[in-house]
Amino acid sequence: MRSIVPLRARLLLGVLGATLVVVYAVIPAAAAPLTLVVTRTADTADGVCDADCSLREAVSAANANPGPDTIIVPAGTYTLTLAPTPEDENADGDLDVRAALTITGAGAPATTIVAASGDRVFHALATAVLTISGITLRGTGEAPGGGGGILVEPGATLTLQDSVVRDGRATRGGGIEVLGDGVNPASASATIERVTFTGNRAASLGGALSVFNGGSATLTNVTMTGNSAGNSGGGISVSRDQALASPPVSVATLNNVTITGNTADDDRNDIGEGGGVSVRVDSLVINQLNLRNTIISDNADRSPSPANVNPDCFGILNSLGYNLIHRVTEPGCTILGTLTGNLTGNSARPAALLDNGGPTPTVALLSGSPAIDTGDPAVGSSCAVTDQRGITRPIDGNGDGLAACDMGAFENPPPGPADLALALIDSPDPVEPGATLTYSAIVTNAGPGAAGSVQIQFTPPPGATGIQTGGAGWTCTVATTVSCIRGALGVASVAPVLTITLVVPPGSGTITASAIVSSSQPDPQSSNNTATASTFRGRRSAWIPLVTRP
pLDDT, residue 468, reads 97
What is the model's pLDDT at position 269? 75
Q: Is the pTM of this model over 0.75?
A: yes
Classify residue 100: in a domain, yes or no. yes
Say how far apart CA 98 and CA 125 lie, in whole Å: 5
- DSSP letter assigned to residue 23: H
Contact 85/94 with Cβ under 8 angstroms?
no
Q: How far is CA 133 from CA 148, 388, 431, 514, in A?
A: 18, 14, 73, 60
Domain boundary among 316, 343, 370: 343
Note the pLDDT of residue 13.
Answer: 34
Task: Please identify, among 343, 373, 400, the residue that sits at the C-terminal boundary of a domain.
Answer: 343
pLDDT at residue 307, rounded to an integer: 66
* Residue 48, pLDDT score: 92
Burial of 389-401, coded b for 16+ CB within 10 Å and e otherwise, reads: bebebbbbbbbbe
The reply to whether 430 falls in a domain is yes
> Are 215 and 107 part of one and the same domain?
yes
Residue 348 lies in a domain: no
- Where in the sequence is the domain holding 236, given as residue range(s)? 94-343
**Dist. CA 294–CA 255, nearest whole Å:** 6
* Domain-located, residue 121: yes
Round to whole Å and give the CA distance between 482 and 467: 9
Q: Read out DSSP for 388-429?
A: TT-PBSPB--SSSS--BPPSSS--PPPP--EEEEEEEEEESS
Q: Is residue 473 part of a domain?
A: yes
DSSP code of 527?
G
Which pLDDT does position 71 carry in this prediction? 98
CB 6 within 8 A of CB 39: no
Is 462 within a domain?
A: yes
| pLDDT of the residue at 243 | 82
Residue 35 belongs to a domain: no
Last residue of a domain, one of 280, 310, 343: 343
Distances (CA, A) of 411 to 107, 369, 428: 21, 12, 47
Number of H helices, E strands in the chain: 2, 41
The predicted pLDDT at position 8 comes to: 37
Residue type, 11: L
- Mean pLDDT per 10-residue section of the chain, whose length is 550 residues: 38 36 42 93 94 97 94 98 95 97 98 97 97 97 93 98 98 98 92 99 97 97 98 96 85 98 85 90 82 98 78 95 93 93 96 92 91 91 91 90 94 88 97 97 91 90 96 94 89 94 96 94 91 89 54
Q: Say yes or no: 426 and 533 in one domain.
A: yes
Instruction: Give the side-chain half-sphere CA count within 13 A for 21.
Output: 6
Q: Closest Cα partner for 162 from 390, 316, 10, 363?
A: 390
Q: Which positions ≥6 away from 254 have C-beta within 8 Å?
A: 219, 220, 222, 236, 289, 290, 291, 292, 294
CA distance 21 to 15: 10
Q: What total number of domains does the chain contain?
A: 2
Asked, for residue 528, whether it belongs to a domain, the answer is yes
**The predicted structure's pLDDT at residue 322:** 98
CATH of the domain at 500: 2.60.40.1530
What whole-number distance in Å separates Cα of residue 95 and Cα of residue 83?
Answer: 12
Residues 135 and 253 in one domain: yes
Task: List the one residue out of 202, 215, 291, 209 whose CA is nearest residue 247.
Answer: 215
Q: Are 324 and 434 in the same domain?
A: no
CB half-sphere exposure, 267, CA atoms < 13 A: 13
